[in-house]
Structure 1
Amino acid sequence: MVIGNGLIASQFYDFHLNSKVIIFASGVSNSASNDSNSFNREKQLFKEIAGKNDDKKLVYFSTCSIYDPSTQHNAYVQHKLEMEELVRTAGPDFLILRISNPIGKYNNPHTFFNYFVDCIKTGRAFEAWANADRNIIDVDDFYQLAKLLIDDNDFNRSTVNIANPYNYKVPVIVTAIEEHFGRKGNYSVVNKGAELKIDTRVVEQLINSCDSVNFTGNYIRKLLRKYFSV
């Protein structure tokens, strides 16, 4: 069963008829949101679904923003931490997957990557934090790694990060987007941001079992070519 209809939910379409696993991908999509009503709706929906399916594995998608010093105290991240605790007490079998920043075909304007793309394409002014790390992952790569974890009972009742083993500085990402579209962005580089530390040891181990996932090379440019037409 799959709950949700966004970018992540669409990747797990083959789980719709799975009678043993619930993919709960119906959450707040805007990481800058302070809307307590949206947060409460997610909580209530999860409680309703979990209460009716306590014999199934519950797969919940949290966020690696927990590790970002610039966002770890905002309302969205605190909500995700509350949801994680709710998942851990909802049933006998669960898997919490903390995602970094998935890149795919869905044009969610609330992601930092899509925001930069839109600003560069339209000439809108924005700030590029010189010291900020960002972590991006192809949603197809995320799915391949997540499926391995879901199918492996050794990870039952676990919380696992699914992220790129490599972070990128914001100016590096901005430059890659500029080069892809052949346009100069209207931005100022500001002395803000901090190092991002995400434990990706599990991902690095899984890559050995998943030949289709490769984070080396010009990963940003590969994603731009794949999902963003010029």
Structure 2
Amino acid sequence: MRIIGDGFLARNLAEEFGDRFPGVTALACGVSSTSTAAPAEYDREAQVLYDALDTCARQGRQLLFFSTASFSMYGFTDGGEGAAESDPVRPPNTYGRHKLALESVVRSFGVEYLVLRLSHAVGGHQRPHQLLPTLVRQIRAGEVTVHQGAHRDLLDVRDLLHAVGRLLGDGVSGEVLNVASGVPQPVESIVTAIERRLGVTARRLERPGSPAVTRVSLERLRRFVPDFRATPDEKYLDALLDAYLPYYTALSRA
């Protein structure tokens, strides 16, 4: 696999796949924060994508592109099965509109492709500005900001890598697929679980808000990856924190 990028996703892909899938180019260097507002960062990601597509077209390679299955793409969803890839979308912010536009470029370019819309992937090699490292850092400092009603669908990067390996191994192409845990976690619960493991209680700066949940459908993904982790139970968050909290704690000391 040829991997463009050196951040969280890129490093996990490199460790997992190495020389496997030599005909695939994975674009893992895009804008990583939904709050990014700098046009230059969006322009840079677009140009890298255009260049990668040109190379894939010349060399007959498949492009693996990572988009978003977060609020930025789907907004806040009602209950039920969640938002499907074929549902009409009206991305509510610049980040989501940017990702949707790049998806369109990928689909129209004429190369083999696989677009994966990710929720909030977590694991080793995360950057300090991402959600869990930020919460750990704030909690250890004694004060954490919590937006009431906010939820995040946390996806273990190991589950993502399993799905990528299965999809590419089976030659899946020309698809746009949600990859998520399927169960958005209340941020208040995430904070409490971190505090319990660290043995501290931080002062919470609560910001008012209404229930804010983005739930996506995994039905289409499971057609291709039947052994993708079933809808997680309440132990999914515990498993994530048990696996990665030591890394996040060390990162907060850096």
Q: Partner residue of 1:167?
A: 184
Q: Is the 8 A contact 2:181 2:231 kept in 1?
A: no
Cα deviation, 1:101-140, whole Å, max 9, x if unaligned, reads 11112242332222212111111341x2332221001111
Structure 2 equivalent of residue 195 of structure 1: 213
Task: Find the partner of 1:73 among 84, 92, 117.
Answer: 92
* Contact in 1 for aligned 2:153/2:184 (Cα 8 Å): yes
The correspondence for 1:34, drawn from 32, 37, 40, is 37
Q: Deviations over 1:28-78 (max 9, x none)?
A: 122210111111111111111211221111110001121233994222221
Counterpart of 2:143 in 1: which secondary structure? coil
Deviations along 1:128-154, one digit per CA (max 9) or x if unpaired, are 23322210011111110122122333x
1:105 & 1:157 partners in 2: Cα distance?
Answer: 29
* Other-structure match for 2:147: 129
**1:171 positional shift:** 1.3
TM-score in terms of structure 1 length: 0.88
The answer on whether the counterparts of 1:105 and 1:227 sit within 8 Å (CA) in structure 2 is yes
Give the Å deviation of 1:92.
2.8
Deviates more, 1:161-170 or 1:188-197: 188-197
What is the CA deviation profile of residues 83-112 of structure 1, one whole-angstrom value per residue up to 9, with x for unaligned ones? 111111223311100110111122423322
Identity of aligned residues (%): 26
State the number of aligned residues: 227
Partner of 1:61: 66
Q: Within 2, Cα distance between the matches of 1:164 and 1:114? A: 19
| Gap runs ≥5 in structure 2 | 78-89, 250-254
Q: CA deviation at 1:210?
A: 5.3
Q: Which residue of 1 aligns with 2:157?
A: 139
Change over 3 Å in CA distance of 1:204–1:133 after alignment to 2: farther
Look up the equivalent residue of 1:47 and give its one-letter code.
Y
Q: How does 1:70-109 map to 2 (within 5 A)?
A: 72-109=91-128
> Is the 2:4–2:29 contact (alpha carbons within 8 Å) kept by the matching residues of 1?
yes
Return closer, same or farther for 1:79/1:220 CA change in 2, 3 Å cut-off.
same
Distance in 1 (alpha carbons) for counterparts of 2:222 and 2:197:
28
1:49 to 2:49 alignment: no
Distance 2:130 2:39 in 1: 20
Over aligned residue pairs, what C-alpha RMSD do you find? Answer: 2.4
Matching of residue 150 in structure 1 with residue 155 in structure 2: no
- Residue 87 (structure 2) aligns with: none
Q: Which moved more, 1:81-90 or 1:64-73?
A: 64-73
Question: CA offset at residue 206 of structure 1?
Answer: 5.8
Deviation at 1:17, TM superposition (A): 6.2
* Worse-superposed segment, 58-67 or 86-95: 86-95
Show the counterpart of 2:232.
215
Q: Distance in 2 between matches of 1:18 and 1:196?
A: 32
Residue 24 of structure 2 is aligned to residue 21 of structure 1 = yes
Match of 1:12 in 2: 13
Distance 2:67 2:22 in 1: 23
Q: CA deviation at 1:193?
A: 3.9
User: Relative to 1, partners in 2 of residues 1:120 and 1:68: Cα closer, same or farther, differing over 3 Å?
Assistant: farther
Instruction: Kindly indicate whether the alpha-carbon contact (under 8 Å) linking 2:149 and 2:211 is maintained by their aligned counterparts in 1.
Output: yes
| 8 Å CA contact 1:31, 1:110 repeated in 2 | no
SS at match of 1:53: helix
Distance in 2 (alpha carbons) for counterparts of 1:34 and 1:179: 35
Matched, 1:227 2:232: no
- 1:203 and 1:216 map into 2 onto residues whose CA distance is 19
